[in-house]
Structure 1
Amino acid sequence: MLSTLRRIVQEVGTARDLQAALDIIVRSVRLAMCTDVCSVYLYDDDADRYTLMASEGLNRKAIGRVTLSRSEGLVGQVGLREEPINLEDAASHPKFRYLEETGEERFRSFLGVPIIHHRNLLGVLVVQQAVKRRFDESEESFLVTMSAQLAGVIAHAEATGSLHIPSSSHEKPRQSRFMGVAGSPGIAIGTAVVLAPPADLAAVPEKETDDIDGEIQLFRQALCSVRDQMSRTAEKLAGSIPPEEQALFDVYLRMLDDNALGAEVETAIKKGQWAQGALREVIEEHVGHFEKMDDPYLRERAVDVRDLGRRVLASLQQQQAQEVTWPDEAVVISEELTPAMLGEIPRHKLVGLVSVQGSGNSHVAILARAMGVPTIMGAVDLPWERVGGRELIVDGNLGRVYASPAAELVSQYRQLIDEEQAFVEGLEALKDEPCLTPDHYRLPLWVNTGLMTDTVRSLDKGAEGVGLYRTEVPFMIRERFPSEKEQEEIYRDQLKAFAPKPVTIRTLDIGGDKSLSYFPIKEENPFLGWRGIRVTLDHPEIFLVQIRAMLKASAGLDNLRIMLPMISGVPEVEEALYLIHRAYHEVLSEGVDVQLPPIGVMVEVPAAVYQVKDFARRVDFLSIGSNDLTQYILAVDRNNPRVAELYHSFHPAVLQALQKVVNDAHKEGKPVSICGEMAGDPAAAVLLMAMGFDILSMNATHLPRVKWALRNIPLEHAKEILDDVMEMDNPRVIRSAVELALRHRGLEKVLAGRADVAG
């Protein structure tokens, strides 16, 4: 069954549209399971009905015409229950509904499984047989697995507008929602512009053309160029490779002949597809055929065909540079956004970014936050290559992308954007005001930085200090480790810009999802591997250079604080302190007059939560990295969109851990700050203030909103809210309770940027 399933999936992957994919599935599943019938019923949420969209075994005239209501018949029951129904005698079931036009009266046994994608019901997959029998467990498992594969195909078709259900009243593509990871906050509404990486067949977007003759001419030139390259390579290697290997070049040249692959690509171009898209279609079809072959040698030829396709594509792209027509409000989408891509986009037209790959801490996400562009990373299910030109909503607050959104949803989001803009403009007056509650409690608000653009924005927002300067950013944008002198200049700029306000510089924190191209770390589980302080203690030469650079940069300013990331035990603290004191004495011996700065540790792993007292006796301050601490406590990868909904900072275990850290640190007389995303969330900030955090450090864009919220709620009231929610056991209920309390105090405006909307 496994090999059969793999073969069907490969064949479906070569289908040119959804209907072709459905036809392949019903035909292949019927053969694989040796049943008399296999059918697919798709559900239209707006019409609240199922439509028979494909079938092998039922009357073909019924396809596209037969419909069922949401609860009608056995198909309706499968959808309502959202689980398989397996019957040896379907007609005896009380919900059986006989459909005369399908010709199904002779089929007794019935097995139906729901087609579900991200909790949304898309349809029902059914097999039937004339003989009276119950399908066995392996058959049921096979059909469930097949429906899961089909769900992704249907969801993609919905997003690209290629799904057309005859009963639907919609003329335009239906609204589809895709989940990703919030990379940069904010909301954007615009037109999708797809950017594809070079010479990647799978990344070539679909695009129609009116200039068919021009596209054919470009393709022929590319084909001729690759043939010439191949011939020259064959001549060059003629004396150094065996005759049988030499013969392969002849095979490749024949495949590139105008009457072989060339003719098929030209046929596709004549149907209105641009040359690159036509090439991708033909190559993928041939690759699919080879991959399905049983003979291992022939299966390997799929690699050769794909390689030829890439060569022709590269030649095409050289002479056919991707001409992008930029709409006034462009949402740029790519399989993997890169910093270089950002440099090519007209900034005045860019409103949003979406990347299929990448995480919320990738370099692109960091740059997007610095630019203030709403961004979503890791939208793995978005059929990015097929959404060009469609209207999109990018919700960078909730990590959602809506393709072809309904007018009502667009209206709701536009209202949110307008409200947000008006509110933010009104906060500018608070820039020079302290964060002082109505009952006169003073809470310093600091910022997290990594680029000079962050620094400028932070000072403009009235930041009182830097709670986290990410030193990995300067390392990431280089092709080698920066020298001690280069680092000194970078840190000096940061310290000088904020002086005399304190600047907390974190030592190099690489590993996990933050990598350096010149210092690759490849591990099975990088988040539980070699990262943070573990790397730099293993490489004291890196650590010492960085500490010396920090100390020299602080000369005459004396506003430096050094922070150690990913600490999980006292020995790490003691070893790091030894190296810091060593670097300090080395700097003094060079004649640099500098003070030893305060040193702190980050509480990011559960082990650190229970050693706060031990840490506090050795360092000057503690700072909680709530992003990592939350993901480690909950065992949820915060950059994985498939489990993103399980990552919740308001989880009772997280709140209890935060309170414990504050209490234990204060017992030792040491201050505690927090520098994760929680600090920039007004609802969370209320709880953090009530817990007793001494400093909140956040992205500069969030600072005015948090300041406004805390200036409008007394500390005593915040403590009452905290007492109430600490008795609750559901993170969503906790968040709702906090937001409700803020609304009762007339503070709903601070929640506008996170407001959920229908859809």
Structure 2
Amino acid sequence: MHHPLSTLTSLVEQIARTQDPTAMMSTIVQRLSELLNVEVCSIYLCTPERDSLILAATQGLSPAAVGHVQLAVNEGLVGNIAGTLSAVNLADAPADDRFVYIPETHEMPYHRFLGVPLLHLRKLVGVLVIQGHQREPFSEEDEAFLITVASQLGSTLYQLHRDGEWMSDVQDISPFRRYRGVKGASGVGCGRLWLVHPQLSLADIKPSMTSNPAQQKSDFMDALSSVKEELESGSGRLGKHLPSDVSALFHVYQLMLQSPELSDGVKQLITEGASAEWALKQTIEGMASLFEQSDDPYMKARSEDIYNIGQRILNQLLERDQQVLEAPDEPLILGGELISIADLAAFPQERIQGLVCTSGSTLSHTAIVANALGIPAVMGVEGVELEQNRGAKVIIDGNRAECIINPPQALLTEYKRMIDQENRVMRDLERLRNMPAETLDNVRIQLHTNTGLLADATPGLERGAEGVGLYRSEIPFMVHDSFPTEQEQYRIYVNVLKAYSPLPVSMRTLDIGGDKQLPYFEINESNPYLGWRGIRFTLDNTQLLVTQIRAMLRAHAECGNLKLLVPMISRVDEIIAVREILDKASEALKRDGIEIPRPQVGMMIEVPSAMLLLPKLAQHIDFVSVGSNDLTQYLLAVDRNNPRVSNLFDNMHPAMLVALEQILTTCKSLGLPVSLCGEMASDPVAVLMLIAIGYDTLSLSAYNIPKIKLLIRSVRRADLMPLLEKARDCTDESQIRALFEPVLVKLGWSKDGRQPPEDSSAA
């Protein structure tokens, strides 16, 4: 039979118009049975755990079997397809040894059988099956068409599978939703969903009237003045060092704010009874439309500037009209598009059990602070409707980057048991604070902390950090409304250095770009991770780097424990340029009467070229820090914040093993101290490998220090060396993990290493 491409296109379009999950799957099996002229067409979908398949829809088998027939992976023909991920085409299915008869389906009259797996991004979603009366296999044309259909349906059905919505009609299975995101902070939390509303956009403003026009006009003029001050402060502070395009943008904004069309238009609408927000929206849209109608691309683009300035004014208006709602006195999961540090500060920390954000990434400042405070967080969650689930019970699994809404009681009970065990373990580990991280065969490992805010200092010191391996200086820039001055930066840096003195503090110079954007300095690039970020940005904005280095040196003059760390080095001339700026800043401060002891200067190895250039870079640096997150990302060409490929991001990839060994060997030969920071230092399985390789300084979030210290004190490096030897022959990360995971299990840890044993007295 002939199956033109147009029939497939028609089917996909028809499915796309179907919103209801049950109707969608019914449409698929009905249309396919018609297109292929077969008696039976069925869809089996995986359970959330992917250990079995449930008959989710059928045309031809008994309707009563839907939701009741369940097969384990590798059970029956359907289970065999799921287990092998390969198609099965038979002339007489009941005669096959793998066939399992299930009376509820009434499928014995059907002999010919063709089944293909449904996949999305290499993950099994389910199995698609057609059956018929004849005792002959389906044609190659039919098989090819069904495989093509399955490839198209995989992504469509994946959304249903991920959300769990299709299971709401299945008997004996409680309706719940499971959403995937990217890992913000590890750990598990349960609580009631409490929404933290972000500031509204202009598009969200609805028509509203006012009974007090005078007050509304006053609020609007105050908001207008505040935005003017913001812009004047931002442009004046950077002066001639501001890039010309951004400088021009500041000028355009200032002209817009002074425009009588804006102020007079808003005040006139308020006089007529509109609220300030509604009047602002109408005026901005009116002004923008004039530019949008222009044929000149430059003039057309100015409409975006008008909307931008309107949003700034709206933000100021809303700050004057915020209402604080009292959250319930119970465990809470905070949800929102992005949750600011100010939002976190508004709640007692003991009530915050987790965070779920519909945008953001692993490196969002929200995720970084959550990590420091030990609050589980999942970022960039797709498909979840937080507003519709307000007040629902929620599980946040930061280890798996999952958010589970309305979990069944059995699942909720199991997660609460895990949380209780984790809390008991953490209390027990407090006694390790002043003990060294030393293996049973006397290999000493230094454990430093990652931090970015002064508030992080206390957790690090309380949990036994031996210094700061990575101070993320961009956090103060990200929570500010403009570039902070030298004096503002100095106050922050000196407090951090004093908190840890005399322990060393490695302060990284400003590292923005990629997914770390400043709200007042937007960078739009088609490939941001390969663009204007890290040291490239600060060298091109020299005044920023000079100001920051001066602030760090002044703090170092008082405390003496600064180590200057330069991010994203990929060229020798970059580190040379930083050293020249450092020398000039030191000389200038000396002329001002401030004696500066020479700080150590190090670089981060995040870009593969830095690893290869180490012998040439060595003469310009005093130490090396391996940024495991970015090095893995660039080495594997995987964006860890992209859900479509994030499953390919793994620090244990064989290429990372080769790179880490090469870096350590080269650094030793050059006499350079080397440390490692990033998620890898918090992953117990990875830590076992790092100990075997020979890394003796790790930097990780304060919350994870006690667990990693316990692990180090429980193993012998000599016992890990044979595993490292075998790991060198592995071809993928799962094989390497399989080598080291039994060590954790033998020690009483969970297989993934996230759950240490409750009885840690042996340590």
**Which TM-score applies when normalising by structure 2?**
0.72
Q: Please say which of residues 18-27 and 703-712 is displaced more in the overlay.
A: 18-27
Distance 1:196 1:444 in 2: 41
* 1:734 match: 736
Deviations 1:195-244 (A, max 9, x none): 6657799999xxxxxxxxxxxxxxxxxxx999x989x979x98xx99xxx
1:143 and 2:144 are equivalent in the alignment: no
Query: Which residues in structure 2 correspond to 1:642-681 (within 5 Å)?
Result: 642-681=644-683
* 1:314 match: none
Percent identical across equivalent pairs?
Answer: 34
* 1:567 match: 569
* 2:158 match: 152
1:164 and 2:165 are equivalent in the alignment: no
Choose which of 456, 459, 462 in structure 1 pairs with 2:458: 456
Contact 2:118 2:154 in 1 (8 A): yes
For residue 492 of structure 1, give the secondary structure of its aligned residue in structure 2.
Answer: helix
Distance 1:105 1:417 in 2: 48
Query: How far 1:361 sits from its partner (Å)?
Result: 0.7
Distance 1:152 1:579 in 2: 53
For residue 426 of structure 2, give the secondary structure of its aligned residue in structure 1.
Answer: helix
Choose which of 426, 438, 453 in structure 1 pairs with 2:428: 426
Deviations 1:388-436 (A, max 9, x none): 5554432222323345545554444333323322222122222223334
Contact 2:46 2:125 in 1 (8 A): no
Query: Which residues in structure 2 correspond to 1:13-92 (within 5 Å)?
Result: 15=18, 17-25=20-28, 39-43=41-45, 51=55, 53=57, 55=59, 63-64=63-64, 70=71, 82-83=85-86
Q: In structure 1, what residue type is equivalent to 2:549?
A: I
Q: In structure 2, what residue type is equivalent to 1:372?
A: G
Query: How far 1:731 sits from its partner (Å)?
Result: 2.5
Distance 1:513 1:52 in 2: 39
Q: In structure 2, what residue type is equivalent to 1:663?
A: T
Query: Which residues in structure 2 correspond to 1:226-625 (within 5 Å)?
Result: 326=328, 328-339=330-341, 341-342=343-344, 347-380=349-382, 382=384, 387-388=389-390, 390-405=392-407, 409-625=411-627
Q: In structure 2, what residue type is equivalent to 1:190?
A: G
Query: How far 1:558 sits from its partner (Å)?
Result: 1.4
Query: How far 1:164 sits from its partner (Å)?
Result: 0.9
* 1:186 match: 187
Distance 2:324 2:118 in 1: 38
Query: Which residues in structure 2 correspond to 1:690-701 (within 5 Å)?
Result: 690-701=692-703
Contact 1:113 1:147 in 2 (8 A): no
Query: How far 1:362 sits from its partner (Å)?
Result: 0.9
Contact 2:569 2:607 in 1 (8 A): yes
Distance 2:197 2:144 in 1: 41
Contact 2:676 2:698 in 1 (8 A): yes
Q: Please say which of residues 536-545 and 46-55 is displaced more in the overlay.
A: 46-55
Distance 1:738 1:100 in 2: 45
Distance 1:490 1:697, change over 3 A: same
For residue 445 of structure 2, give the secondary structure of its aligned residue in structure 1.
Answer: coil
Deviations 1:617-658 (A, max 9, x none): 221111111111122222222223333332222223212221
For residue 351 of structure 1, give the secondary structure of its aligned residue in structure 2.
Answer: strand
Distance 1:583 1:752 in 2: 46
Distance 1:35 1:25 in 2: 14
Choose which of 124, 128, 136 in structure 2 pairs with 1:124: 128
* 2:754 match: 753
Q: In structure 2, what residue type is equivalent to 1:602?
A: M
Distance 1:91 1:474 in 2: 66
For residue 437 of structure 2, give the secondary structure of its aligned residue in structure 1.
Answer: coil
Distance 1:9 1:335 in 2: 31
Q: Please say which of residues 660-669 and 101-110 is displaced more in the overlay.
A: 101-110
Q: In structure 2, what residue type is equivalent to 1:419?
A: Q
Contact 1:114 1:124 in 2 (8 A): yes
Query: How far 1:482 sits from its partner (Å)?
Result: 0.8
Q: In structure 1, what residue type is equivalent to 2:565?
A: M
* 1:257 match: none
Distance 1:726 1:72 in 2: 36
Contact 1:90 1:96 in 2 (8 A): no
Contact 1:555 1:592 in 2 (8 A): yes
Contact 2:741 2:752 in 1 (8 A): yes
* 2:267 match: none
Q: In structure 2, what residue type is equivalent to 1:148?
A: G
Distance 1:721 1:111 in 2: 44
For residue 559 of structure 2, give the secondary structure of its aligned residue in structure 1.
Answer: coil
Q: In structure 1, what residue type is equivalent to 2:186?
A: P
For residue 636 of structure 1, give the secondary structure of its aligned residue in structure 2.
Answer: coil
For residue 152 of structure 1, give the secondary structure of its aligned residue in structure 2.
Answer: helix
Distance 1:550 1:77, change over 3 A: closer
Distance 1:103 1:551, change over 3 A: closer
Q: In structure 2, what residue type is equivalent to 1:143?
A: V
Query: Structure 2: any 5+ residue segments left out of the alignment?
Result: 206-272, 294-319, 758-763
Contact 2:193 2:335 in 1 (8 A): yes
Distance 1:116 1:385 in 2: 31
Choose which of 636, 639, 647 in structure 2 pairs with 1:637: 639
Distance 1:583 1:202, change over 3 A: closer
For residue 469 of structure 1, give the secondary structure of its aligned residue in structure 2.
Answer: strand
Q: Please say which of residues 77-86 and 634-643 is displaced more in the overlay.
A: 77-86
Query: Structure 1: any 5+ residue segments left out of the alignment?
Result: 205-223, 246-317
* 1:272 match: none
Q: Please say which of residues 38-47 and 318-327 is displaced more in the overlay.
A: 318-327
Distance 1:412 1:703, change over 3 A: same
Contact 1:84 1:114 in 2 (8 A): yes
**Which TM-score applies when normalising by structure 1?**
0.72
Query: How far 1:461 sits from its partner (Å)?
Result: 1.7
Q: In structure 2, what residue type is equivalent to 1:164?
A: D
Query: How far 1:11 sits from its partner (Å)?
Result: 6.5
For residue 617 of structure 1, give the secondary structure of its aligned residue in structure 2.
Answer: helix
Contact 1:196 1:203 in 2 (8 A): no
For residue 640 of structure 2, give the secondary structure of its aligned residue in structure 1.
Answer: coil
Distance 1:463 1:544 in 2: 30
Distance 2:118 2:340 in 1: 35
Distance 2:28 2:377 in 1: 36
Contact 2:335 2:386 in 1 (8 A): yes
Distance 2:416 2:426 in 1: 15
Q: Please say which of residues 22-31 and 718-727 is displaced more in the overlay.
A: 22-31
Distance 1:64 1:452, change over 3 A: same
Distance 2:713 2:560 in 1: 30
Contact 1:562 1:598 in 2 (8 A): yes
Q: In structure 2, what residue type is equivalent to 1:183?
A: G
Query: How far 1:360 sits from its partner (Å)?
Result: 0.8
Distance 2:118 2:750 in 1: 40
